[in-house]
Amino acid sequence: MEMRERIAMALKDAMKAKEQDRLSTLRLINAAIKDREIALRSSGDGASVGDAEVLAIMGKMVKQRQESARAYEEGGRLELAEKELGEVKVIEEFLPRQLAPEEVSAAVDAAIAKVGASSIRDMGRVMAELKAKYTGQMDFGAVGPMVKDKLG
């Protein structure tokens, strides 16, 4: 089943069950996907948003909410932090399982071997390989420095 279909089904189920918090988060996901689709349409590509793009959007949404929750906790606004973390849980239901640190390291090693990377100049190819295979399963902001260390 396509990601967008899964989200639509979950939206209908949340409406029937009258789960307001879940419903609002699912609507936010749909709005983000529609925004991306409009941006693609206006750029003249005519491309639609595929599963990989949806995973990237939701990954970004999770990261934003985690940062917001941290900021709310530091500011003593625990009820707002809880709301953000609740949204993270709903979004993560649709994301693939996050890789453990040792799995990420093994994936980086495999990508380096596959593209035949030997220097820091090959970092872009290694990252492209990882993004093609592991979108939504690892934090590429944290993986970048790891690739740089292994190539440097």
Across the range 134-149, mean pLDDT stands at 84
Domain boundaries, the chain: 3-92, 101-151
| CB atoms near residue 13 (< 10 Å) | 13
pLDDT of residue 2: 87
Q: What's the CATH number for 3-92?
A: 1.10.1510.10
Q: How far apart are CA 21 and CA 61, in angstroms?
A: 16
Euclidean distance between the first and final Cα of the chain, in Å? 41
pLDDT tens readout for residues 117-138: 888 898 899 998 888 888 778 8
- The yes-or-no verdict on residue 99 having pLDDT over 90 is no
pLDDT the model gives residue 96 = 85
Which CATH code is given to the segment(s) 101-151? Answer: 1.10.10.410
Q: Considering the entire predicted model, what is its pTM?
A: 0.74
Q: What pLDDT sits at residue 59? A: 85
Residues 6+ apart with CB under 8 A from 147: 108, 111, 112, 123, 126, 127, 130
Instruction: Dump the DSSP string for 71-131.
Output: HHHHTT-HHHHHHHHHHHHHHHTTSPPPPPHHHHHHHHHHHHHHHT--SGGGHHHHHHHHH
pLDDT digits (tens, 9 = 90+) for 27-82: 999 999 999 988 888 877 666 788 888 888 998 899 899 999 999 999 999 999 99
The radius of gyration of the chain's CA atoms, rounded to the nearest angstrom, is: 18
Would 3-92 and 101-151 be classified into the same CATH topology?
Answer: no
- Interatomic CA distance for residues 29 and 49, integer angstroms: 13
